[in-house]
Amino acid sequence: MKSEHLLDVRPRVDAPFPRDEAGHLLIGGVSAVDLVAQFGTPLIAYDEGLIRDTIRAFHRVFQEEGVPYQISYASKAFCTVAMCQLAHEEDLGIDVVSGGELYTALAAGVPASKLHMHGNNKTPEELQYAVASGIGAVIVDNFDEIDLLADILQEAGRTVDVLVRVAPGVEAHTHDYISTGQQDSKFGFDLASHQVAEAFSRLKEVERARVIGVHAHIGSQIFDVEGFRLLAHRMASVYEDGLRRFGLPFSVLNLGGGFGIPYTDEDAPPVADLVRGVIRAAKAAFADRGMDVPVLWIEPGRSIVGPAGVTLYRVGSRKVIPGVRNYVAIDGGMTDNPRLALYGAKYHACYANRAADRPDRPWSVAGKCCESGDMLIWDLPLPDPEPGDILAVLATGAYTYAMASHYNRIPKPAVVFCRDGEARLVARRETWADVARLDVPLR
Ligand SMILES: Cc1ncc(COP(=O)(O)O)c(C=O)c1O
Ligand SMILES: N[C@@H](CCCC[NH3+])C(=O)O
């Protein structure tokens, strides 16, 4: 069966969902009802073809724009061995921010040289692990890290490529918690107070650190190219300073990730257009200085996996409060998707076992945790539910499984990749025993 991408229908709440003759939602050409019969609920199902197509579109844009580049997948968005393998197969580097993400990418067989590591408080163990594995680059975030890295490199007798993370003072129009480029941020060297220049001069003294360039990331879920334009101009100036005034062996400018995706009815440009806008902004910023654009790195996460993921839940109970609200409860919630609780995120949904049905009235989708804030959706027009219906929450591929918790000792869902009518399990469902496996009994 040919797969029809969910991306094309999601932004329009009234658009038809891809479905088979029985009216069952299709994900990568696989019936969601069959998926649930085989793998249970909750289940995160990815349209693998859509992930690959998105990555290929990004490569195409860079090639069309004719700039040297590297795209890395920000694995924080969804980090499993299979996803790292897919990213590697599609010629992406991988951005990791912890020992656990580094371990996963290496376990996936991705060469360490294709990885780079972020983090505002990398532990000595994480930095040692990164250096010992031969990581492609460390993005140095603060002065304490410079000292720590210098010691670790000395002790290991190794050399590493380094990018300097800059806090550029660029405000992104997004939720406060996912905005990172503003001056008042825990990430990076503050540009306004000359910390970046100080970092350049200190790093120059670290013999085993080869400072190949600079990095900045203004935030996540951004639609507007304007912030990137300002960023590109600031960073071109920082780059020129490092190269010319400090004589650092620069060749890389990393402008981060953050490209926004539609969750419901946002007016989102196609993400490849946003990437093109960023590339053009970088070209213009360097042209203004009479310089060629360096090797341009980006590190998107959400835009690669977000639209391709669908979470399938089983409806259990309902509560109708006359004149107040209608609740439908599913067998997951904030433990597999904390994004409404954290950021007020909005989602679109349908019943996968009857994807053609028209909405009857607004329903609010509640999780099963012992917490009133455990909600996935408020007041979405949906068909009246029945226990046993399969609720499909769309665009849940990024920062869901990755942020899942064991609150109320709820196990994490299983994950499947679906492509051309075939489904592959890529993460097993946790069991109750898995959840208790690290406990040490008193006797
Ligand atoms: C440094 C850095 N790079 C890349 C990303 C990926 O962002 P996104 O998933 O929005 O593309 C993030 C997350 O915001 C980040 O903090
Ligand atoms: N976790 C956030 C994105 C954080 C991006 C990482 N810097 C979200 O779900 O939107």
The CATH number given to whatever domain includes residue 71 is 3.20.20.10
User: Which of 18-22, 100-104, 335-339, 415-419 bottoms out in mean pLDDT, i.e. has the lowest?
Assistant: 18-22
Total domains in the fold of the chain: 2
Domain range for 417 is: 6-40+308-435
The confidence score (pLDDT) of residue 7 equals 47
Rounded Cα distance between 101 and 116, Å, is: 11
- Sorted by sequence, the CB contacts under 8 Å of residue 322 that are 6+ apart come out as none
Annotated binding residues for substrate, written as ranges, equal 302, 339, 343, 371, 399
- Sorted by sequence, the CB contacts under 8 Å of residue 438 that are 6+ apart come out as none
- Sorted by sequence, the CB contacts under 8 Å of residue 111 that are 6+ apart come out as none
442 falls within a domain: no
Rounded Cα distance between 327 and 223, Å, is: 32
Q: 16-55, pLDDT tens digit by residue?
A: 688 999 999 999 999 999 999 999 999 999 999 999 999 9
Q: Are 200 and 246 contacting, i.e. CB atoms less than 8 angstroms apart? A: yes
Nearest ligand to residue 302 Cα: 1
- The amino acid occupying position 256 is G
Same structural domain for residues 77 and 96? Answer: yes
Annotated binding residues, written as ranges, equal 258, 299-302, 339, 343, 371, 399
- Which atom of ligand 1 lies at the shortest distance from residue 399's CA? 9
Task: Kindly give the interhelix angle for 48-65 and 271-288, rounded to the nearest 10 degrees.
Answer: 20
Rounded Cα distance between 416 and 193, Å, is: 47
Cα(69) to ligand 1 centroid in Å equals: 17
443 falls within a domain: no
Annotated binding residues for pyridoxal 5'-phosphate, written as ranges, equal 258, 299-302, 399
Same structural domain for residues 162 and 119? Answer: yes
421 falls within a domain: yes
Cα(351) to ligand 1 centroid in Å equals: 31
Q: Of the residues 304, 335, 356, which one is the last residue of a structural domain? A: 304
Q: Of the residues 286, 304, 322, which one is the last residue of a structural domain? A: 304
The confidence score (pLDDT) of residue 183 equals 87
Q: Are 183 and 190 contacting, i.e. CB atoms less than 8 angstroms apart? A: yes
Query: How many CB atoms sit inside 10 A of residue 72's CB?
Result: 23
- Sorted by sequence, the CB contacts under 8 Å of residue 329 that are 6+ apart come out as 315, 316, 317, 318, 319, 365, 366, 367, 368
Nearest ligand to residue 93 Cα: 1
Residue 307 CB less than 6 A away from ligand 1: no
CA-to-CA separations, 66 to 239, 273, 288, in angstroms, rounded: 20, 15, 18
Q: 284-309, pLDDT tens digit by residue?
A: 999 999 999 999 999 999 999 999 99
Quick one: CA dihedral 131, 133, 136, 137, positive or negative?
Answer: negative
Active site residue 370: yes
Residue 54 CB less than 6 A away from ligand 1: no
pTM for this entry: 0.96
Nearest ligand to residue 77 Cα: 1
Reply yes or no on whether the pLDDT at 9 is more than 50: no
The H or E element that residue 353 is part of is: none
Same structural domain for residues 285 and 170? Answer: yes
Q: What is the CATH number of the domain that holds 32?
A: 2.40.37.10
pLDDT band at 14 (very low <50, low <70, confident <90, very high): low
